Chains A and B, each alone.
Chain A
Amino acid sequence: MKIIALIAVILAGGMLIYAGQDLPAFGDPESPAYQHPIIEHYITHAETESGVGNIVTALLANYRGYDTLGEVTVIFTAGMTVILLLRRREI
């Protein structure tokens, strides 16, 4: 059983390394993530539209605010789940 697990891990790792060869280089301006037209809108309009100078915060709290609400809800749900499953109750 352990040998099967080892083979599965090696296969999965090899697939990841093989797929990683096709990733764009770090900071490559030609990569698809930087080619989308919305990027220019964010860079030029983030400060005037959201009022914050930090583009990361403008994206996190304003353009992607609904996503961030979901993240906070995930953290809250994880905390509640740990309370339900692991809390030691005084009996």
Chain B
Amino acid sequence: MSGIQESIVIRTVVRIMVPFIQIFALYVIMHGASGPGGGFQGGVIFGAGIILYAMIYGHKEGKQRMSDKLNRILSSSGVAIFAVTGISCLVFGGMFLQYGVVPLLPDNPAVVSRLLIDVVEIGIGITVLAVMISLFFDVSPPETDEEELPASEEAGQ
């Protein structure tokens, strides 16, 4: 554990900031239909929030929030949400990802298209955030070994 992780200022600021980062990420995902934003950007921001938490509080705390199992489920379910949305358009007689044909609101295909674009953006965001977090956990150096090795050496001496 390095000096940054022990700093009470950084730990407190991170604990306060992470919920706001995540709410901003949800805003960016849901705002993708009417302004700048979208699934890729929002997913990256959401993943960055959890990565920030795991950097300061350690891998163990981070994996309690986002376990490997949950990560696997999320990263594949995002692609599945996107693909199922496209296939549901096929089922209702349209082309792949032709959102307007899904009869949620029969008289207004543009609104249906907007809703399904939001669903697709959420799917993109889920996959991107899960892959971001999984990349961080896999690439960052293991910290538990570093903590345990000096302690065992001291015990040996």
Given known A-B contacts A73-B79, A76-B78, A62 and B113 have beta carbons under 8 A apart: yes
A72 within 8 A of B: yes
Chain B residues contacting A51 (CB-CB under 8 Å) are: 33, 109-114, 117
Q: A58-84: contact bitstring with B at CB < 8 Å (1 yes, 0 no)?
A: 101110011011001101101110110
B58 within 8 A of A: no
Q: How far is the CB of B2 from chain A (nearest CB, A)?
A: 20
A86 within 8 A of B: yes
Chain A residues contacting B139 (CB-CB under 8 Å) are: 82, 86
B residues whose Cβ falls under 8 Å from a Cβ of A: 32-36, 38, 75-76, 78-79, 82-83, 86, 96-97, 99-100, 109-114, 117, 120-121, 123-124, 127-128, 130-131, 134-135, 138-139, 142
Kindly state the separation between the CA atoms of A58 and B38 in the bound complex, as whole angstroms: 11
Nearest-CB residue, chain A, relative to B110:
A51
CB contact between A53 and one of B33, B79, B83, B128 (< 8 Å): that residue: B33
Q: What total of chain A residues lie within 8 Å of the partner, measured CB to CB?
A: 30
Q: Which 5 A-B pairs have the closest CB atoms?
A: A79-B131, A51-B114, A51-B110, A65-B97, A52-B33
What is the interface of chain A mostly: helix, strand, loop, or mixed? helix
Chain B residues contacting A49 (CB-CB under 8 Å) are: 100, 110, 113
Given known A-B contacts A60-B38, A61-B117, A72-B127, A79 and B97 have beta carbons under 8 A apart: no
Chain A residues contacting B100 (CB-CB under 8 Å) are: 49
A41 within 8 A of B: no
Chain A residues contacting B121 (CB-CB under 8 Å) are: 57, 61
